[in-house]
Structure 1
Amino acid sequence: MDHARQPVEPSAELYAELLDVALAAAEGAGALLDQGRPEHLTVAATKTSAVDVVTEMDIAAEQLIVRLLAERRPHDSILGEEGAAAEGTSGVRWTVDPLDGTVNYLYGLPSWCVSIAADVDGVPTIGVVEIPARGERMHAVRGAGAFLDGRPLQVRPAPPMDRALIATGFGYRPERRARQAEVLNHLLPRVRDIRRGGSAAIDLCDVAAGRLDGYYERGLQPWDYAAGALIAAEAGALVGGRAGTAPGPDLTLAAPAGLFEPLQEALDQLGAWRD
């Protein structure tokens, strides 16, 4: 007899429950980070280089989120940037970045956030991005749109690429940064201008809000883009990687139809998907 778990049947009730949990977790972690930020942060660990810091607050925020998820959704799976991992049986998986924009946070810059997403049987379903320094909360529910503090979000109409304001980000390894600089050197003359904010989740949300025309980056992990990608998509953006692929470590790209396609083609020609 096959005892494999059957896929979860999506329902408005499940979506509402997952959104409520995600909002509560993001609000709690955002408050912890915002109110508890010490004047002189202590580096608890490093990742791939001395630049890529992991602060004590980062780790504390993930622990807060994981505790809340374990209390309210004990049978769900969890994937967290700072090492949280749990295998569940419910078909729901949470992808958590407790502090996206860690270096911004370390330096007292406002572009940092808490990013929480939920998949149901592998389908992106809920995304919440809490931006305390801006006093903003963005969220999306699959098929129901994206919102900023309760107000619907809509991407900006696609401009010609030479009039597009594009955001990007850079990796931490020197060799990757050098390659990304080469790509940027060739792309910059072909667009209106480039912005580098320091948080992939916020950049994706800013595409959703019409504050940017497009965004791309190589080297992102699922926790970097899971929530922001859903928010951008529900606001009307196309979101993907290289042609015919989903967003991922090779390339993540978001822009409205009409800009997405030429930007994706340009990035492919420039080899933005490889080091």
Structure 2
Amino acid sequence: MTQHTNWDNVYEDAIRWIREAGQEIMASFRTSFNIDTKSNPNDLVTDIDKQTEKFFIEKIKEAYPSHRIMGEEGFGDNIEQLNGVIWFLDPIDGTMNFVHQQTNFAISIGIYEEGVGKLAFIYDVTKDELYHCKKGSGVFLNDEKIKPLKTTNLSESLLAINATWVTENHRIDPRTFSPLLKKIRGTRSYGSAAIELAYVAAGRLDGYVSLRLAPWDFAAGKMLIEEGGGICTTVDNKEIDLLDKNTIFAGTELFHTEVQKEYIQPALDQNYYLRTPSSR
């Protein structure tokens, strides 16, 4: 049985730790840091990623020893079930941007209990923009409450999508989304899933698509979007698995519904949506 959690205390602690970590990350720009690669040459990790994750784990374990942590850099717990309280932690989402641009990266934390989102935080460090929510209380940007998501016609919509998914690739047939790009007002790509999901929750974007995200990439953004009245599913409109990598399609209710009906479902019906049965 899960112990009672004082979510107000967790909320305040998380915000304090996030801002403290953000200050340390900003200070790192004045020093040199080490860069390594993980799964491929474009999958970067720095010692700042690792230090930041260790900082959060130390704080969480000290204050909430019964809570578990799924972190990108592997310093957390081995989590195979969603029981209890779990922190999904990405210390720096957008490491390539962090390395090359020193902007457009974020700290992302989603806190779930028994698989249900309770608290979410996405902190755009260099812009000092903290998107956060507590279940049932609405979405905030710093101290200002964000208005509920509005409905927008496809022709007036902005979609965050990486150009990879509308050119030749091994995950999805480009014909799935290429027609949509001709219909909508425009596309954006910021190089950080957390920031792009936060922008959907804030109404800066109408939709977001990615074909390969891990739980720490989307846990916070998923909750922010749903708390704001949007929808977040897999690209083929299934429930997201919080313990595995997923395709992600998020957006306002109207955008999500129309794109599913007019573009994704026809691709599925004609069997040209997926390149392969599973992503690599």
TM range (shorter): 0.7 to 0.9
Amino acid at match of 2:259: L
Which residue does 2:257 correspond to in 1? 261
Partner SS for 2:212: coil
Letter in 1 for 2:66: H
CA contact (8 A) 1:247 1:253 kept: no
For 1:67 and 1:126, how far apart are their aligned partners in 2?
Answer: 19
2:6 is the alignment partner of 1:14: yes
User: Which whole-Å CA distance do the structure 1 matches of 2:55 and 2:168 have between them?
Assistant: 35
Q: 1:245 aligns with which of 233, 239, 250?
A: 239
Question: How large is the RMSD of aligned CA atoms in angstroms?
Answer: 2.8
Matched, 1:30 2:33: no
Larger mean Cα displacement after TM superposition, 203-212 or 24-33:
24-33
For residues 170 and 126 of structure 2, the distance between their equivalents in structure 1, rounded to whole angstroms, comes to 28
Gap change, CA 1:37 and 1:165, over 3 Å in 2: same
Name the SS for the 1:133 alignment partner: coil
Q: 2:221 aligns with which of 228, 236, 250?
A: 228
**Aligned residues with identical type, % of pairs:** 26
Q: Which moved more, 1:180-189 or 1:190-199?
A: 180-189
> Segments of 4+ in structure 1 off by > 6 A?
87-90
2:37 corresponds to = 46
Alpha-carbon distance, 1:180 to partner? 7.0
Query: 1:177: how far off?
Result: 6.8
Worse-superposed segment, 216-225 or 157-166: 157-166
Matches of 1:178 and 1:92, distance apart in 2 = 33
Which deviations, in whole Å up to 9, do the C-alpha atoms of 1:235-261 show, x marking residues without a partner?
221222232423663421221221111
1:130-164 deviation digits (Å, cap 9, x = unpaired): 11211111101111111001111135422222321
Q: Residues of 2 paired with 1:181 and 1:32: CA distance?
A: 41
Match of 2:189 among 192, 196, 204: 196
Q: Which runs of 5+ in 1 are unaligned?
A: 1-5
1:98 CA displacement: 0.2
Change (3 A) 1:63 1:7: closer
CA contact (8 A) 2:44 2:96 kept: yes
1:78 matched to which residue of 2?
A: 69
After TM superposition, the structure 1 = structure 2 runs for residues 4-153 of structure 1, keeping only pairs within 5 Å, are: 6-8=1-3, 14-38=6-30, 40-43=32-35, 45-86=36-77, 91-153=84-146
CA contact (8 A) 2:171 2:274 kept: no
Residue 219 (structure 1) aligned with residue 212 (structure 2): yes
For 2:264 and 2:26, locate their aligned partners in 1 and report how far apart those are by CA, in whole Å: 36
Instruction: Tell me: CA distance 1:72–1:8, structure 2 relative to 1, closer, same or farther (3 Å).
Output: closer
**8 Å contact kept, 2:57–2:76:** no
SS of the residue corresponding to residue 98 of structure 1 reads strand
Using the TM superposition, give the Cα deviation of residue 183 of structure 1 relative to its aligned residue in structure 2, in angstroms: 4.3
Q: What residue identity is the alignment partner of 1:215?
A: Y
Shift of 1:219: 0.7
Is the CA contact 1:127–1:227 (under 8 Å) kept in the aligned structure 2?
yes
Residue by residue over 1:23-49, the C-alpha shift from the partner in whole angstroms, topping out at 9 and shown as x without a partner, is 122212211111112565421x31221
